[in-house]
């Protein structure tokens, strides 16, 4: 039997202790594929085991196979954070186990979701009155946008830039829609002059903060083109959207008020654990037309129907994700979120200056937010090898991109525990490993 009080206290102690010591663990899991699986029993236990056995195996069996996203020297892809209030709120959401299939099955979860989406819309400077709800991931949010766009326009083409996230292509493929990729300018932004004829486009997906370089597509010009052609404009701001809490970054949201839908992942830069993808639309009736299927067993009085968020997206059973975002917004406040974003951008800008000032290294893209793309001068193989060496060291974890056909390294700042010392350490480790590469023989 599991005792919620005593086992729960042990689990919380585990969590607190983990967060204290995570900085001393290798960032990237140091295991080979299949190794963890081999350490686990082939079959489930016949008899109940105590919860402490689960905690023990978490330490002994699973932890070596964890890549530590909560590590202060996690700089790969997009660095994210699961903050303490959100961790606790996840526990409480699981305790309540609200499944918001209909408003009446989860009135508090449904209405809190609407409120936190309104609050966040205000923090990001979005127009008042947009419908907002939470999906699991940006992949699903964009899927929902494309489904609504196709239903609203009767068209089958999706247009995005060559720097758009692969989820756009995957979503289009899953829907059997065609995709056209628009070339970018020399700063990795979609070229509006190359959009082509949009009269058969269901949707154009513009990105504010692309995955490789965090470039910002020119949304105002794209919005004009969509308006003229009757195409749905979906804005993917999965990563950079959070930066809009700071006025100095709002330039990047110019034109977003004209979008038909928008996605911002709270589970990227907003201190909220996966999964929590915020989806807004100024066309909720189009969403409802696309998604509302109400079988007899789910029928309720009309006044309740319209409030059921399952009518605005793909999922029926929706978990209480709003609780963790609510906890974050309350426990950090707007000022705490702004500090978090600004700290990340400031640290990235320092790293950028160090790279710029060091002979033999080069920057590969402008840095609007907290991601720096850089490389060792010379061929791609040196950079590939450098990446493999620094990651194998377990001291830092960074990732790569291919920009203008050349292999580039990416350092993404965003983990809430990252300090200047960690970024400085990353730079020293990169320089150390690079100098080893350069040794003759
Ligand atoms: C710009 C952008 N859009 C969408 C996604 C997909 O996010 P998710 O994992 O929530 O589906 C990513 C992932 O990094 C991204 O960078």
Helical ranges in 176-253 per DSSP H: 219-229
Examine the pLDDT at 440 and tell me if it is beyond 60: no
Cα dihedral value 48, 50, 51, 54, nearest 10: -80
Could you tell me which residues are beta bridge partners of residue 394? none
Query: Contact 192/167 with Cβ under 8 angstroms?
Result: no
> What pLDDT band is residue 439 in, cutting at 50, 70 and 90?
low
pLDDT of 211 reads: 98
Q: In a mutational test of the pocket of ligand 1, which residue from 69, 77, 80, 138 has the highest number of ligand atoms less than 8 Å from its CB? A: 138
Give the pLDDT confidence of 317-369 residue by residue, as tens digits: 999 999 999 999 999 999 999 999 999 999 999 999 999 999 999 999 999 99
Report pLDDT for 306. Answer: 66
Secondary structure percentages of the chain, helix, strand, coil, to 5: 50, 15, 35
**Mean per-residue pLDDT, 43-66:** 97
Region 285-294: what's the mean pLDDT?
94
Which pLDDT value is given to residue 441? 40
pLDDT bracket for residue 438 (50, 70, 90): low
The CA distance from 420 to 138, in Å, is: 30
What average pLDDT does range 107-128 have in this prediction?
97
Q: Report residue 1's pLDDT band, with 50, 70 and 90 as the boundaries.
A: confident
Q: Is the CB of 279 under 6 A from ligand 1?
A: no
Q: Which residue owns the Cα nearest ligand 1 atom 7?
A: 138
CA proximity to 147, closest of 289, 308, 294, 306: 289
Pocket of ligand 1 contains residue 277 by CB under 6 Å: yes
% of the chain surpassing 70 pLDDT:
98
**What is the longest distance spanned by two Cα atoms in the chain?**
78
Centre of ligand 1 to C-alpha 78, Å, is 9
Non-local (6+) Cβ contacts of 404 within 8 A are 364
Is any ligand 1 atom within 6 A of the Cβ of residue 399? Answer: no
What letters, b where the CB count within 10 A reaches 16 and e where it falls short, cover 90-111?
A: beebeeeebebbbbebbeebbe
pTM over 0.85? The answer is yes
Orientation angle between helical segments 107-124 and 322-356, nearest 10 degrees: 30
What is the rounded radius of gyration, in angstroms, for the C-alpha atoms of the chain?
23
What's the CA-to-centroid distance between 49 and ligand 1, angstroms? 38
CA distance 420 to 241: 24
Compute the distance between CA of residue 285 and CA of residue 262 in angstroms, rounded to an integer: 16
Pocket test for ligand 1, best of 77, 135, 139, 263 (most atoms within 8 A of CB): 139
pLDDT on residue 301 = 78
Q: What is the mean pLDDT of the chain?
A: 96
pLDDT band at 437 (very low <50, low <70, confident <90, very high): confident
403 CA → ligand 1 middle, Å:
18
- If 0-12 CB within 10 Å is exposed, 13-18 middle and 19+ buried, where does residue 148 land? buried
What are the tens digits of pLDDT across the range 141-172? 999 999 999 999 999 999 999 999 999 999 99
CA of 302 to the centre of ligand 1 (A): 36
pLDDT digits (tens, 9 = 90+) for 128-144: 999 999 999 999 999 99
Q: Could you tell me the strand order of the sheet in which 261-265 lies?
A: 131-135, 277-281, 261-265, 232-236, 201-207, 157-161, 178-182
């Amino acid at each position: 039997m599991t005792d919620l009080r005593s086992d729960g206290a042990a689990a919380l102690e585990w969590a607190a202790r983990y967060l204290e010591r995570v900085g001393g663990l290798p960032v990237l899991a140091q295991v080979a594929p299949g190794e963890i699986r081999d350490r686990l029993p082939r079959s489930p236990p016949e008899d109940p085991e105590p919860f402490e056995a689960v905690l023990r195996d978490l330490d002994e069996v699973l932890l070596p196979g964890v890549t530590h996203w909560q590590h202060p020297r996690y700089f790969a892809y997009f660095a994210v954070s699961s903050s303490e209030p959100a961790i606790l709120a996840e526990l409480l959401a699981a305790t309540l186990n609200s499944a918001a299939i209909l408003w009446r099955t989860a009135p508090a979860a449904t209405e809190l979701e609407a409120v936190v989406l309104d609050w966040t819309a205000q923090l990001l400077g979005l127009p008042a009155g947009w419908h907002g709800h939470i999906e699991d991931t940006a992949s699903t949010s964009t899927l929902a946008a494309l489904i609504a766009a196709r239903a609203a326009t009767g068209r089958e083409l999706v247009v995005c830039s060559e720097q758009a996230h692969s989820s756009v292509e995957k979503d289009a493929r899953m829907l059997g829609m065609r995709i056209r990729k628009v070339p970018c300018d020399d700063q990795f932004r979609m070229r509006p002059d190359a959009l082509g004829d949009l009269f058969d486009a269901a949707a154009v997906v513009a990105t504010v903060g692309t995955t490789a370089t965090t470039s910002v597509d020119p949304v105002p010009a794209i919005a004009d083109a969509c308006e003229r052609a009757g195409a749905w404009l979906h804005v993917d701001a999965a990563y950079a959207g959070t930066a809009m809490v700071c006025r100095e970054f709002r330039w990047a949201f110019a034109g977003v008020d004209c979008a038909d839908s928008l996605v911002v992942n709270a589970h990227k830069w907003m201190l909220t654990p996966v999964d929590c993808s915020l989806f807004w639309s100024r066309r909720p009736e189009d969403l409802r037309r696309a998604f509302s299927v109400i079988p007899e067993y789910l029928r309720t009085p009309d006044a309740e129907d319209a409030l059921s968020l399952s009518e605005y997206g793909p999922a029926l059973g929706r978990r209480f994700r709003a609780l963790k975002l609510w906890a974050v917004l309350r426990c950090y406040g707007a000022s705490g979120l702004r500090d978090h974003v600004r700290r990340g951008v400031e640290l990235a800008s320092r790293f950028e200056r160090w790279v710029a000032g060091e002979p033999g290294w080069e920057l590969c893209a402008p840095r609007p937010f907290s991601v720096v793309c850089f490389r060792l001068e010379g061929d791609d193989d040196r950079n590939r090898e450098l990446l493999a060496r620094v990651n194998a060291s377990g001291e830092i974890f960074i990732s790569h991109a291919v920009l203008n056909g050349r292999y580039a390294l990416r350092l993404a700042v965003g983990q809430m525990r990252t300090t200047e010392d960690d970024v400085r350490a990353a730079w020293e480790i990169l320089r150390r490993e690079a100098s080893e590469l350069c040794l003759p023989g």
